[in-house]
Amino acid sequence: MSGPIYLDYAATTPVDPKVAEAMTACLTMDGTFANPASRSHFYGWQAEEKVEMARRQVANLLHCDPREVVWTSGATESNNLALKGIFAAAASIETSSINTSPVNRVVRYSGHLITSVVEHKAVIDPAKWLESHGVEVTWLVPSAEGIVTAQQVSDALRDNTRLVSLMQVNNEVGSINPIAEIGQLCRENNVLLHVDAAQAAGKIEVNVEALQADLLSLSAHKFYGPKGVGALYVRRQIQKQLEPIIHGGGHERGMRSGTLPTHQLVGMGAAAELALAGLDDETQRIAGLRDRLWQGIADLPNVKRNGPVERVTPNHLNVCFAGVDGETLLLSLRELAVSSGSACTSASMEPSYVLRAMGLSDSDAHGSVRFSLGRYTSAEDVERAIEHIRKTVSQLQAA
């Protein structure tokens, strides 16, 4: 491809050509275009069959029952449904004794939520919303490597703890939380566990049984599927404990209403199948390229790696270029498409809240860049990137 080398796969991935082909076959009159809920004719049956095949493909990626996969518009909606839905199901409604109109009914949320200060905004913002509506929230602070431990969760548990919500992989530094250990702890204490796996699915194994997760969010565009579609895994035994936040027809076994976008779901299913088939080989290849990129720039003055070296996904590399202004650095790296952190906070001039929570100073956080590699990153791309980074950083440091 022409243009800068794309090293921002953690923000989004391009749709795989095989995925695009499968989606295209679900758009026009001569394809599978119908409403999957139209069960009175052949076209609707055909669409429903495609949707259920996609559900099985996503279930295979997660190692779960297809009936535990709930379609959503993406991980943001999945996170909102998981957090708000669990607490809404247990909420109480107080009605004014003077006027029983629904307008005068007040919903009272209660219980305790455990999450962390380095979660994606799609978890932090719903958690803050719940906090403003009566839920007690414990905000855990990660280690210097960006990891939240099971001991931290154990120490934060209370008698009224209803949900623990933690990401499997941090979106900025790629640190991997010990979710299986946390899941076992939650199961032993009869506390539900929600996992944001948007950065994990398709990059490392995501096995909901091994993780002992009750709810798990993912987004298709993070593993070479289309934007605007995702899923929430909801363990069958707890589905009645989840209140829907979107109403209008009772689709998805009552958990999420709305006409299903056949083409997007087919694309997500195809992307999931491709990700699962190539997981082992791609993990090794991309990890090798990531390590080569780091080796090529590690000896530059005042350069250090943010986050862990061992418990990290193969595609993430977050680097601090101390003493160099981050905005100037990003603008100077014209031959690379990279970011300073989450795409959802890229419009903000504030230093990364994730890096600051890990103990970095504001200046070091400002001077940090996230490089994220993927399926279409080549060895040649990495060598060109190394050369460009070395040249650019040396010029900025000499200025």
User: Computed from CA positions of residues 278, 284, 287, 289, in that sequence, does the dihedral angle turn out positive or negative?
Assistant: negative
**pLDDT > 90: percent of the chain:** 87
Instruction: Decide: residue 301, CB within 10 A, 0-12 exposed, 13-18 middle, 19+ buried.
Output: exposed
pLDDT tens figures, 125-178: 999 999 999 999 999 999 999 999 999 999 999 999 999 999 999 999 999 999
pLDDT at residue 93, rounded to an integer: 60
Is the pLDDT score of 370 beyond 70? Answer: yes
Domain boundaries, the chain: 5-13+279-398, 17-277
Question: What's the chain's average pLDDT?
Answer: 93
Residues 30-46, mean pLDDT to the nearest whole number: 94
Token output for 309 = 């070296």
- 17-277 belongs to CATH 3.40.250.10: no
Choice among 26, 64, 186, 344 that is catalytic: 344
Lowest mean pLDDT among 43-57, 96-110, 375-389: 96-110
Look at the block and give the residue holding tokens 């082909």. 21
**pLDDT band (50, 70, 90) for residue 96:** very low
Lowest mean pLDDT among 2-6, 88-92, 297-301: 88-92
The model's pTM: 0.94
Run of H or E including 295: helix 279-297
pLDDT at residue 33, rounded to an integer: 95
Contact 195, 169 (CB under 8 A): no
pLDDT at residue 352, rounded to an integer: 93
> What string of DSSP letters covers 203-261?
TB---HHHHT-SEEEEEGGGTTS-TT-EEEEE-GGGGGG---SS-SS-TGGGTS-S---
Is the pLDDT score of 346 beyond 60? Answer: no
pLDDT at residue 252, rounded to an integer: 87
pLDDT at residue 213, rounded to an integer: 98
Contact 131, 295 (CB under 8 A): no
Is 344 a residue of the active site? yes
- 5-13+279-398 belongs to CATH 3.90.1150.10: yes
